């Protein structure tokens, strides 16, 4: 039995047909028929293949693009996007905004990932990555009074460790925390009012970077864990 225009329009508002189309397009991608960078079939062909209206296809494609699964930029046909942290970021932010999780829980999860990433980075980092981590650790000292610069250096430091871990999924998971880091770091930094408190944070970054430089996986993991326990959580108390 075919659906008429009115019932289909109602289903679009209700989300039923759109949700089904999203699932079918996602299945088309996951089946291996389409790879990263490949264009989707035309709107007309998808409409015929999924047995839904072009309006439903358009909404489904828009939803997948909003999740970062499709690239619809520059007016070109939708293409399969490269995986990013965007869907995870959206989910975490939604859970925080609706008070389904606490900020401290996010940071507890982040600590688990960061400590493991530091351990892996010590094993798999390139010489260039190790050198850059040491440079960033020292730059954080010289830029102490410039909070915007401190934020950028902190983000680069942790992102580089994630990259050096050579674990793509871990990299996406850690990257999903970056928007929250940009909010939390200034708040945490303002709680470090004395030079001694700030020096302790700088020393923590140096220990992590040095352990990774030395390819000492155990020391890198412990240094990152101590950094969270001794420095990060103290700053977060004021943020929450």
Q: What is the pLDDT of residue 73?
A: 80
16 vs 218, residue with greater confidence: 218
Lowest mean pLDDT among 3-7, 62-66, 224-228: 3-7
Residue 9, pLDDT above cutoff 70: no
Strand bridging mode 70-71 / 79-80: antiparallel
* Domain boundaries, given as residue ranges, for the chain: 5-80, 86-239
CA distances from 198 to 143, 157, 159, 186 (A): 11, 17, 21, 13
| Global confidence as pTM | 0.80
CATH classification number, 5-80, choose in 1.20.1050.10, 1.10.238.10, 1.10.10.10, 3.40.50.300: 1.10.10.10
Query: What is the phi-psi region of residue 7: left when phi exceeds 0, alpha when psi lies from -120 to 50, beta otherwise?
Result: alpha
The CATH code of the domain at 86-239 is 1.20.120.530
CA distances from 22 to 57, 65, 138 (A): 8, 11, 48
Q: What is the mean pLDDT of the chain?
A: 88
E-only strand ranges, the chain? 70-71, 79-80
């Amino acid at each position: 039995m075919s659906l008429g225009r009115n019932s289909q329009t109602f289903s679009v508002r209700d989300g039923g047909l759109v949700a089904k189309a999203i699932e079918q397009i996602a299945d088309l991608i996951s089946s291996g028929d389409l790879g990263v960078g490949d264009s989707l079939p035309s709107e007309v062909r998808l409409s015929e293949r999924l047995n839904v209206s072009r309006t439903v296809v358009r909404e489904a494609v828009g939803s997948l693009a909003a999740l970062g699964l499709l690239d619809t930029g520059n007016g070109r046909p939708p293409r399969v996007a490269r995986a990013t942290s965007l869907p995870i970021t959206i989910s975490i932010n939604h859970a925080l905004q609706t008070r389904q999780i606490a900020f401290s829980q996010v940071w507890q999860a982040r600590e688990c990932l960061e400590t493991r990433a530091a351990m892996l980075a010590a094993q798999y980092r390139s010489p260039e990555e190790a050198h850059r981590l040491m440079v960033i650790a020292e730059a954080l000292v010289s830029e102490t009074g410039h909070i915007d610069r401190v934020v950028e250096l902190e983000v680069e430091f942790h992102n580089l460790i994630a990259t050096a871990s050579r674990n793509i999924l871990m990299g996406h998971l850690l990257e999903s925390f970056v928007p929250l880091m940009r909010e939390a770091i200034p708040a945490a930094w303002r709680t470090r009012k004395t030079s001694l408190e700030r020096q302790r944070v700088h020393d923590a970054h140096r220990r992590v970077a040095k352990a990774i430089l030395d390819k000492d996986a155990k020391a890198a993991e412990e240094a990152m864990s101590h950094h969270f326990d001794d420095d990060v959580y103290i700053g977060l108390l004021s943020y929450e």
